[in-house]
Structure formats: C-alpha cells, structure tokens
Amino acid sequence: MAVAAVGGGLRYSARITMRTLLTLLAALGIVYLALGVILYLFQGSLVFLANLPGRALDGTPADIGLPFNDVGIATADGERLHGWYVPAAEARGVLLFFHGNAGNISHRLESIAIFNGLGLDVLIVDYRGYGQSSGKPSEPGTYRDARAAWDYLVEERGLAPSRIVVFGRSLGGAVGAWLAAGLPEEAAPAAVIIESSFTSGADMARRLYPIYPARLLTRLRYPVVDFVAHLRSPVLVVHSRDDEIIPFAMGRTVYDAAPAPKSFLELRGDHNAGFWISRSVYAPGLDRFLTETLGRSQGA
C-alpha cells in the first residue's frame, strides 16, 4: 500500500507540474501576443523620438558664430515645417540636411559647422512633429516633408538641382534616398550622401525584436536599399565600424545596392558621435567627394 501511495503521489505531482507548465506557457503566449500588438500599433512612437530630448530648440547657428535665416516651409498636406538656411562664404553648393529620428535641428550644430566649413550652404528642416514643425510624424509624412524642402530650394530659392547635395543621417538617410530616387533624371541632385543609415525598417525590426516576424509586424517600411538602387547621382555612403545601433554591415549593403559612381567612407565611433570622433577623417573624406561632384570650394 505504501508503494501505491507513493505512485499515486508521483502521478498527482506530475499532473500539477504539467498544469503549471501549461499555465506558464499560456501566460508567456499572452505576453508575447500583447507585446506584438503594442509593437505593431505604436511603431510611430517607438521610432519617431520627436520628444527626446525635447521639442524646444537648445540653440541656433548664431551660437557657433554662423549667420542664418529662419525658414517656414508649407507641405502639400498643410503642415508647416521649421528650418534654418545657413549660408557659407563663396558656397560651392547647398546641402539639404535630413537628420535622424531623435532631437531637432538645434542638436545638429556641430554638423552644420562642418558643412559650412566645407563651403556649403545648409538647409536643415525638422520633420513634422519635431522641433517647431507642426503635425505628427509618419513615414509618408517624412517623405512629404522631404519633397517640400526640395521644392523650397528649387522653386522658392531658384537653385539648380545640380548645385544641391542631399544628405541624410540615420533615419534621414532613408528620407533623403527616397527623395533623390524619385526625382526625374533631369532634376537629379548633384550628389547624395547617406550616413549611418539602415537597409530597411524590416531589417531593423528583425535586429531589435528577433523573436517576432519582422516583415509581418513592420508598418514602417523605409526600404533604403530599394531607393538607393534607383539613384541617378553620385553616392557617398558613410558608416562607422563601431556603430552600436545600425550595424556596419548594413552600411556596406546600402553601398553595394547603389549604382556607380559611388564611394564609401569608413568611420570609427558610436552611432551618434562617429562623425565627430572621426572628424579628422570625416571632413576630408566629404571634401574629396564634394570636390569630385561640385568642384573645389573657394571659401574653404
């Protein structure tokens, strides 16, 4: 009887263990699905970090000794973008600057100073929902913002596309590549610079959330490699081997997708500060590329 009692106790214990395991698996499944729903529904808030570190402007080009003009640009769907036009002495061209997915134009003063020193006027704009721009950010919205900024340069300022360099960093690389790829050949920009950017939104989602089916979950597509493949301008891809957010391999894949003529500039340093940490390599590398596409700077 003692043996039977022990056997019965073991069977009861096994049933309890199985029930506990099934309950745990069900709970994990619910958490998995709930997180998947959150990721799907709130992608915009997770990607577009317009409120980090804040929408208030922390400075202007005047703080680094550069004159500038405040610019207001109307988009096709009724939003109002805020930007700066920063002229350079004896400029060899104009750089249209699309920044990354956090902060606003006031957090890019170091970059503006570098570009100004390279003999480039700079137009930098905040996407809708960033800085002092109206609206709420979205993928289609960033594309409309890019087109509005381009039209401002070409139509309001009367600049020839052959004098404009489209520059995009991180998220801005996707936005700039979309803009340049969609322009007709006769209106292609002088050059395109894609810095620290990714291959696609789905690839980034797969990297950040490897346990989820990224292509099914991702609503923000940003297919950078597809855009780059259709560029008609000389391309410079810039990426740091130490980038901890967007892998160096993605930068190489973007470069491989681009048609010739193209160049690759390798940096060291993290995602946000690589251009500054490697500025002794960065600025000369940009200058070489710009000299090939725009000619030598008289003011630099």
> Which residues are catalytically annotated?
170, 243, 271
CA 62 to chain centre: 26
Count Cα atoms within 13 angstroms, Cβ side, for 128: 24
Q: What is residue 195's three-state secondary structure?
A: strand
Whether the ω angle into residue 284 lies within 30 degrees of 0, i.e. cis, is no
Residue (of 275, 53, 80) closest to 168 by Cα position: 275
| Element (DSSP H or E) covering residue 61 | none
Number of Cβ within a 10 Å radius of residue 159: 18
| Residues 84/59, Cβ–Cβ less than 8 Å | no
The reply to whether omega before 53 is within 30° of 0 (cis) is yes
